[in-house]
Amino acid sequence: MAGNGRILAGFLAPHPPHLVYGENPPQNKPRSQGGWEPLRWAYEKVREKIKILQPDVIIVHSPHWQTIVGHHFLGVPKLSGLSVDPIFPHLFQYKFGLDVDVELADACIEEAKAEGLIAKKMTNPKFRVDYGTITSLHMMNPDWDIPVLGISANNSPYYFSHDFAQDQMIKLGRATQRAIEKTGRRAVLAASNTLSHLHFDREPEIPEDMSKEHVMTHEQYLWDMKVIDLMRRGELDELMEILPEFMEKAFAEVRAGSLVWMLAAMGFPKIPAELHGYGTVIGTGNAVMEWDLVKRDLDEIRSQEGIVCATP
């Protein structure tokens, strides 16, 4: 198996804990009347796809595991406990238990170091996994029957220039790709990013009261649509060009680097990403999107062989 690994797909997989809360899974203590259905239903498509792809591992880069010195990888085979969101504790009190692909973590660390990055392995078994990692993974695979690998968000975007920070994420993406290939993993990637990230600082009495849910500003909405449209068109060069402005104008969470990491790992595929759904959560803009690299490769083979696909 080693040496034949590949990335099957990448997903933009935002992590508002409201999505878990709205679903009422047994792992989460607070109960809701629902809410944020368009986003939750978008994730249902992701779940179906993951069942079809049957990856060996789901790798998630989370802005809510923030590290100062380098890029960190979960490095304990089994992590479990109660994760309570410090911001929305009334919505998210989740009992988690996850299997970590430590061999892949080791390979990622080695490759990241080869890229000149600082990379570290988190080996403390009492570590509390952040709610961003858990929410994205739960929404993608609530059965938790696929090993995972969590990667921290190094805070370089907040310390250095945009170019320096994104360069780090590109190197991290390349390193992740090589590690997947070398370990023979069939991997799915998850960029745990919200798009526009300005949000309300007060919530309705019933948090899931959708009559109160809307995007924070019109400008924010326009930015989200612009960015989504570029991804839908596969225009990643243009996307990379406008990202700094997007981050500044819409306080976009992609600044944490998850999206650029994932795109870099996938080799910046210039294929249309599929939008499964868009919705706001407490005013922030969230899109669930998919880059299907298996389909891309099949399409390429078909095109080389001159096969015309009769798909309606």
Partner 1 sequence: MRNTVNTTPENIKKAFMVPGLPHLALDFPGGNGAWKDLKEACRKAGEDARAADPDVIVIYSSQWISVLGHSFQADPNPKGVHVDENWYDMGDFEFNFKVDIDLAAKAERHAREKGLATKMVNYEGFPIDTGTLVVLKHFNPENKIPVMIVSSNIYCGKEDSYTLGQAVGEALKESGKKAVVINCSSLSHRFFTEDIDPAQDKLASETDDQWNRQMLELIKAGRNQEAFEKGEEYAKSAGPEMMFKGFYWLMGVLNTPQTPGSVLAYGPVWGTGNAVIEYSLN
Q: Which residues bind partner 1 (CB under 8 A)?
A: 65-70, 81-84, 86-90, 93, 118, 122-124, 126-128, 130, 152, 154-156, 159, 199, 201-203
Least spacing, CB of residue 50 vs partner 1, in Å? 27
Least spacing, CB of residue 89 vs partner 1, in Å? 4
DSSP 115-144: TT--EEEE--TT----HHHHHHHHHH-TT-
Q: In this complex, which beta carbon is closest to partner 1, that of residue 100 or of residue 228? A: 100
Q: What are phi and psi of 237, to 5 degrees?
A: -65, -45
Q: In this complex, which beta carbon is closest to partner 1, that of residue 31 or of residue 304? A: 31
Least spacing, CB of residue 122 vs partner 1, in Å? 6
3-state secondary structure 194-218: CCCCCCCCCCCCCCCCHHHCCCCCH
Least spacing, CB of residue 223 vs partner 1, in Å? 20
Residue 301 CA: distances (Å) to CA of 187, 194, 297: 21, 34, 6
Q: In this complex, which beta carbon is closest to partner 1, that of residue 83 or of residue 177? A: 83
How far apart CA 109 and CA 111 sit, in angstroms, is: 5
How far apart CA 156 and CA 179 sit, in angstroms, is: 22
Least spacing, CB of residue 68 vs partner 1, in Å? 5
Q: In this complex, which beta carbon is closest to partner 1, that of residue 130 or of residue 213? A: 130
Q: In this complex, which beta carbon is closest to partner 1, that of residue 77 or of residue 269? A: 77
Least spacing, CB of residue 274 vs partner 1, in Å? 31
Q: In this complex, which beta carbon is closest to partner 1, that of residue 118 or of residue 225? A: 118
- To 5 degrees, how large is the angle CA 47–CA 310–CA 272? 50
Tokens of 106: 């080791």
β-pair type (148-154, 57-67): parallel
